[in-house]
Structure 1
Amino acid sequence: MRFNQRIQALPVLFGLGAFLATGCGGSQDEHTGHDHGTETEVVEGMDADGMAVTSRQNTLTKIFHAAPSPMETASLIKRSGASFHGDALNGADRASEYTTSDAQAINLGIYGADLSYATIFEENATSLEYLAAIKSLSAELGVDDVLSGEVMEEVEANRNDRDMLIDIVSDTFYELNERLKFNGQEDLAGLVVASGWVEGMYLATRHLDEAPEELKTRIAEQKLVLDDVMRLCKSYEQTEALAALLTSMEAIEAAYAGVATTEGEGSTSREESGSFVIGGGPTFSADDATIQAIASAVEAVRSGCIQ
């Protein structure tokens, strides 16, 4: 696999896997995931929040379906005529500053979004820097082999097949989760998920002055995804770092309370399994004050992530 292909493939993989996105991909009748091994396998045991392991995996896949990749989001930003905001990224040269496993996991998610953003704007030199930072943090966490060349080749070969990408990313994140679990650090997967989502939101909200209404709508739609992200992360063992991050994200939840939800002909409800059933599809809207409140809350949480 050529090196430039790997640069293109890694943002897709990391971005989807870390949920670094700022929009919903359209209504679906039911987000239940694909019928492949890691989702249908019956695994005994419940986590602290009452979420079965298979339910957690299905929730992962549901979120992947509900949100476009950061590559899609960055494309939307670029199409609006926005310029590349390199100063908004967390410096790749700071990777060595993160010496604890908690900080490394958080910024693995952060750098995944930054890589996607730089790649879509064709900032190749910057992309290389973030690729190196991701590989460094992955190695520190002992999961660098999860992102194997074979996985990258599979992503590249299916980069235009969204459903297949979701399957690949679901399996890869599941393997990452299992590796961290084997190392007694399963909670780190929650840190990657949460911080990744935050960084995607942060990058999108840096463009509010030049953002089209479509981008603002996408930001509002994340109200639905945020609920799943929080619930998923709470299903992991609540270590001090993960609990602190989720507590800080409650300010984002509060800001999202200002987003108005209008149901379609049907309704949106949550089943006992945790899946959303959407009939008709809800629509989300927010005034400028609410969008700005979301942006401010996201910025505050993100600041804590990169310290």
Structure 2
Amino acid sequence: MSTIAEECLDECNAVQAHSLEDYGSENPRWCKGCGDHGVLASLQRVLQKNNVEPENAVAVSGIGCSSRLPHYLRTYGFHGIHGRALPIATGVRLARPELPVIVTMGDGDCFSIGGNHWLHAIRYNINAVVLVLDNAIYALTKNQVSPTSPDGTHSNTTPRGTYLQPMNPLSVVVGMTNVSFVAQTATWLPTHLDQTIEKAWEHRGLSFVRILQRCPVFMPQAFGEGGRNFPVVFLENNEGVPIDPWLLKRGPAQAHDQRNINAAQKVAVTVDPAPMGLIYHNPELPVYEDVRHERHERPDHATFVDLLDKTLDRFTV
């Protein structure tokens, strides 16, 4: 016969099953029809499926419409400054490696002002899920072109239209040293979106996921009006993102070896049709925080506080 204390201890140690509501915070303030709603819902479903404790995860963002996501996800959150989400995420991983980190950025936030941090974060291969919500426009600041805006796009900064072809982020990422996970999906493919983020969550290393979407206000025509007229091909592999039968109405399946970097680079440079699924995956690469902590012993808490005090004392006037 167990005692009351033992029963209380068992109850405290029991794993609590969470509902979707456990991962929701305040009501999102995105525009009606914005793909950010779908990404938030997908993240909540993935967190629930893995029964992640809300206080045991961190959402980090920069600046932009997509960067409001930490406000609406009931985890720890850090709403950073423009282009700097990845350095913040790196700091979180080094200081609290036991906490999973989710990074959300827009195309301008990541590929433009944050481009230098983006490339080096790939090289560092920190353990984080990095979601880039690409709508091919700066929307929060009301209609300026981004690196992925199509040639000829008219905006406040390009009233005569852009003159350059858009950047292909996938071809950039697969060319980086230490790249370990690259995938692409879209908000108009909700099941595929869920399964892609789930694959990214399972990977240990930096999981780079480009999520295509349209901005219903400033770029409604992006990506064939949100998939209505946008050719895609689904990458097929037993270890890749599953392809539900209904997806084949959107585009054909193509066999792909995501462990082969040459095959990944060939797929990544293809923009018509756009590849959907897991483009490259190398789970064998070392994670930066592991390498760092193996070479530098972390101080205990008392030593850390003492070192911090000494650092702050240097600024005493």
| TM-score normalised by the chain length of structure 1 | 0.26
Which of the two has greater helix per residue? 1
Higher relative contact order (CA 8 A, sep 6+): 1
User: Which protein is bigger by CA-based radius of gyration?
Assistant: 2
